[in-house]
Amino acid sequence: MIRAGLLWAGTLALMLVACGETAKDNAVAPVDGESAGVNAAIPSPAMLNSVLPQRTPTAAPVAGSFAAVSNTAMSVTGDVTIAADTLSFSLDQSYGTGGASVTTAASPYAGADIWADLFGVTADTPVEIRPVTSEQVGAKARNGGLCGKAKASFVAIARKAAGTPDELLQIAAFQGPAAPGNGASPDSLCGTYTYMPKGN
C-alpha cells in the first residue's frame, strides 16, 4: 500500500510539472515597452489619434450686420450684412455664397502663410471659408468689388475676440480657382476688410 501511494504521488507530481510547462509555453510575451498587466491592453493617446478620424472644428455660421472700420472696408465695401448664403455691402455690391467649410486660424491660406497672421487672431479661432457663387457690383462700388476688377471666388470670415466688447469681424477675399489652403498661391489674396458688430 505504501508503494502504491508513492507511485501515485510521483504520478501527480509529473502531471503538475507538465501542466506548468504547458501554461508557460502558451503564455503571450508582453510587447516591448509595455507591462504584462491590465494596462498593457489600454491604447495610448498616440495610438488613438492614429486610428480615430480627425474632426474639423465647427462654429455657428457668421451672420448679422457689421460696420466698416478699416480703411479698406470704409473705402471699398462700406458696412456689411451677412446671411447664410449672402454678403451684402452698403457700397453697391453683394455676393452669393455656397456652403461653408470651417478650419482654424492655425491652418494655411496660401503656402505656409496662416490665417492667424493674416487676421491677427489666435490659432484656435474658427475661420469660415465660403465659395462665391454670384457677384453683383453696381456703378457706385468704388474700385470694383472685393477683388477690384477681378471676380472674387472665395471669401473667408473670422471673428476676433468673439463675444467681447472688442469683437471685430475680419473678411478676406480671394480670386482664382483654388480654394484657400496650402495649395493656393499667395497672389490669390485680393485683400482684407475689418468690421465691428453694429451696436457695440
pLDDT at residue 200 in the model = 63
Range 124-156 burial, b when 16+ CB lie within 10 A, else e: ebbbbbbbbeeeebeeebeeebbbeeebbbbbb
Grid coordinates representing 175 are 480670386
Residue 89 to residue 130: CA distance in whole angstroms = 16
The pLDDT of residue 19 is above 80: no
pLDDT at residue 7 in the model = 41
Instruction: Indicate the pTM of the whole model.
Output: 0.71
Residue 180 to residue 140: CA distance in whole angstroms = 29
Which of 4-18, 56-70, 137-151 is predicted most confidently?
Answer: 137-151
Angle at 168 between CA 184 and CA 152, to 5 degrees: 35
The three-class DSSP label of residue 108 is strand
Tens digit of pLDDT for each residue in 72-96?
999 999 999 999 999 999 999 999 9
Number of CB atoms found within 10 A of residue 97's CB: 22
Tens digit of pLDDT for each residue in 144-179?
899 999 999 999 999 999 999 999 999 999 999 999
The three-class DSSP label of residue 188 is helix
Residue 129 to residue 88: CA distance in whole angstroms = 16
